[in-house]
A and B are shown apart, each in its own frame.
Chain A
Amino acid sequence: MTGKKHQPKVVIVPCSGIGKTYGTVSREAAYDITEDLRPDDTQLVALSMLVLGDESARSAIAGNPAITIDGCKLACASKMVKESGGIVAQEIAVLDVYRRHKDFKPQGIAELNEGGRQLAHALAEEIVVTIDALVSKDTGGQNG
């Protein structure tokens, strides 16, 4: 019996903008990825934990590529990962994705409207492409 080799995970760091629609979209996309689309290949790290200097959050980004999802041009998620010594494999802004999906107008904060949920899913699908490329690179293009 052989032990399962540890595969590096792609760390997903969404915006922490509480009370902002685009922040909520970024977090919904992150949950979509880490819980449903690619749970085995990803790990969610809360931006607030990085800001607080949480050791487990810092070690997660130190050893794995990160994908940051920013809700506004302040780009807190991207900046914080870089300041914490992480490597950002992809920076993605919710607004850029919305510009490509004008029909998915997000509204709501605690609970997104249908457009917001669709936008979050479209965002998640775009990020999955990068995750798959990163995982494929790490495993030498072999699955399983």
Chain B
Amino acid sequence: MSEYLETTVDKFTFKIATDRLYNAEGIWAKAEGKMVRVGLSDFVQQRSGDVAFAEVKPVGVEVAFGDEVAVIETIKVNISLGSPVTGKIVEVNPAASATPESINQDPYETGWLIVIEAADWETDQSHLLNPQAYFEKMKREAEQEVKKG
């Protein structure tokens, strides 16, 4: 079970899982041996709204750090997700397309998107934020959005 950093901004409560790293756009990457599981942070899923469709690149596709790995269409926006890791996609979550609401309901566990076999995780993770750093960034963004109304 993951542990979380948690904050409430206005009427919204956001959780950041502490057992993984994040890119600046709020995509998480969780190392599992040579494999890295990837998904959306709670903040990104809440800010973006209910997911209508998730189109994820298929198994076998090789991606570089920052390459698009998925496009998420929500009731508010379309989001292009950049990969937080270089490597080959080895698994795609069937729930992402069959029951995309799982991305909203459980973004850190059943709502994961893909697993990538990392080519150079040591290098990639040096470009990612630790949970505390992402937590602070996320809080600032959330507070700014509240101020904007």
Question: Could you tell me which A residues sit within 8 Å of B by CB distance?
Answer: 21-22, 72-73, 95, 98-99, 102
Contacts and interface: CB of A to CB of B under 8 A. Distances in A.
B50 A95 contact: yes
A102 B100 CA distance: 13
Contacts of B50: 72-73, 95
Contacts of A98: 52
B85 to A, nearest CB: 29
B121 interface: no
Contact of A72 (B49, B53, B100): B49
Contacts, number: 15
B53 A21 contact: no
Contacts of A22: 75
A99 B75 contact: no
Interface of B is mostly: loop
15 contacts: A21-B75, A22-B75, A72-B49, A72-B50, A72-B75, A73-B50, A73-B104, A95-B50, A95-B52, A95-B75, A98-B52, A99-B52, A99-B53, A99-B100, A102-B53
Nearest to A106: B75
Interface in B29-69: 49-50, 52-53
Contacts of A73: 50, 104
Given A21-B75, A99-B52, A102-B53, 10 more contacts: A22-B75, A72-B49, A72-B50, A73-B50, A73-B104, A95-B50, A95-B52, A98-B52, A99-B53, A99-B100
A73 to B, nearest CB: 6
A11 B7 CA distance: 41
Contacts of A95: 50, 52, 75
Contacts of B100: 99
Nearest to B74: A95
Contacts of A72: 49-50, 75
A95 B53 CA distance: 10
B79 to A, nearest CB: 15
A108 B53 CA distance: 19
A99 B100 CA distance: 10
Contacts of B52: 95, 98-99
- Of B49, B52, B100, the most chain A CB neighbours within 10 A belong to B52
Nearest to B99: A99
A22 B100 CA distance: 17
A21 B76 CA distance: 9
A19 to B, nearest CB: 12
Contacts of A21: 75
Nearest to A98: B52
Nearest to A73: B50
Nearest to A93: B50
